[in-house]
Structure 1
């Protein structure tokens, strides 16, 4: 398998592992996300529960609607941070820190699913993420200096 194919598989796996949390932080139900990319809520559920592997087309569709949400919904300050840390943080985080970030994001996602407004989610996220010392400076570096995911993956 080529380096490009390995990188593609790695990115698809990261999105699939974190899809449920990202979807909840975006404020979407499985049905809403499914409608946005043209699949059923069952397909989204199957992807989130690892019952079916995510394919490259699904990856591109989901990343595109996530990017559109980030671009069009400036009130949701948590979503770009979460996407940067979980999906775009190439090797800036070691496995242990990445796992800690996933735990924080899972807590924030559960809070979002409970109906907490996005303005309060940012406070919850900031408080929890500060418990991982190395991660705070990484957020700014990733958000500020990264090449878009599509350019990395498609070149």
Structure 2
């Protein structure tokens, strides 16, 4: 696995933005390995791996990925629920270590809000994360986890 969680310093390659063809909000460039890992077979059949691909994080937009030619891949084309686009409590916030919205909510209610973050950091330090193949956004989830916990507190 790459060092997706080891640094907050994004290269220009992974931070390049393009506008989602559905909601017209900037999407974030993702590596092709993310799409290859998370697209269902029917959607994968139409993937042009030679193009740049982007992640749309807009909550009310059905598009998850789109390419530089504006071909879109929708929530229904993805193998997993997408944190940014699904409000249910069973949706993962941390895809590598199974921290769902519900589990994070329980931690906060039990006054153990720091435990998920500590556990995730420990696993990151041990080089166990695989965000580029598990997380639809193709990058580290730790910011999503801390933001979600902060919103609950």
TM-score higher than 0.5: no
**Structure with greater proportional strand content:** 2
User: Normalising by structure 2, what TM-score?
Assistant: 0.29
> Structure 1 length normalisation: TM-score?
0.29
